[in-house]
Amino acid sequence: MDPCCFDTTPTRVGWDGSALDPLRPVAEARCRARVWVRERWQLPELVDSVELAVGELCANAVRHGGGLAGLELVLGRGGRRFAPPSLRVVVVDREPGRVPRLPLSSDPLGESGRGLWLVEAVSRRWGWHRAGCGEKSVWCTFAV
């Protein structure tokens, strides 16, 4: 392989929750994700949707998940035949027993209850799993 053609762009970046501003973790997580997706990966078509999803998932982690433990962005290059390029957002919180669910209905004038609906609307898929050690991961993917 020609060394000149080797792409050294990182395909995974993450932040521990303690590395984020403790007074504004959601705003800082959104900002970091926006800068990384726009400037490092140069995916301007995904910036707004990824920032929205990061904001909603991080806000849920802070409000319902016992605190934001971490944020990770993973860029899948689609190098395999059946794996299309994608970007995955993973938010880790400290409440593995609290299962994220889409609410059956929400108050149209309310200030909460629509976050996961927004994530579902802007992403290709979303889900969650227990991450062990008293944590759970909530994730969503975007087609690149």
Among the listed residues 87, 88, 98, 102, the one whose alpha carbon sits nearest the alpha carbon of residue 136:
98
Top-confidence residue, 12 or 113: 12
Burial class (CB in 10 A: 0-12, 13-18, 19+), 70: buried
In a domain, 74, yes or no: yes
In a domain, 104, yes or no: no
CATH number at residue 88: 3.30.565.10
Distances (CA, A) of 45 to 63, 90, 99: 29, 19, 31
Distance CA 60, CA 27 (A): 13
The number of domains in the chain is 1
In a domain, 65, yes or no: yes
Q: Tell whether the model's pLDDT for residue 38 goes beyond 90.
A: yes
What proportion of the chain, given as a percentage, has pLDDT over 70? 84
138's enclosing H/E stretch is: strand 135-143
Tell me: the pLDDT tens digits for 54-85?
A: 999 999 999 989 899 999 999 987 666 666 78
Q: For the sheet with 68-76, list strands across it.
A: 12-16, 68-76, 86-93, 135-143, 125-132
Which of 5-9, 109-113, 123-127 bottoms out in mean pLDDT, i.e. has the lowest?
Answer: 5-9
Among the listed residues 39, 68, 33, the one whose alpha carbon sits nearest the alpha carbon of residue 54:
33
Instruction: Give me 1's structure tokens.
Output: 């392989």
In a domain, 1, yes or no: no
Count other Cβ atoms within 10 Å, centred on residue 33.
Answer: 24
Residues of the domain holding 82: 10-98+114-143
Tell me: the pLDDT tens digits for 82-120?
A: 667 899 999 999 999 898 988 777 666 666 778 899 999
In a domain, 4, yes or no: no
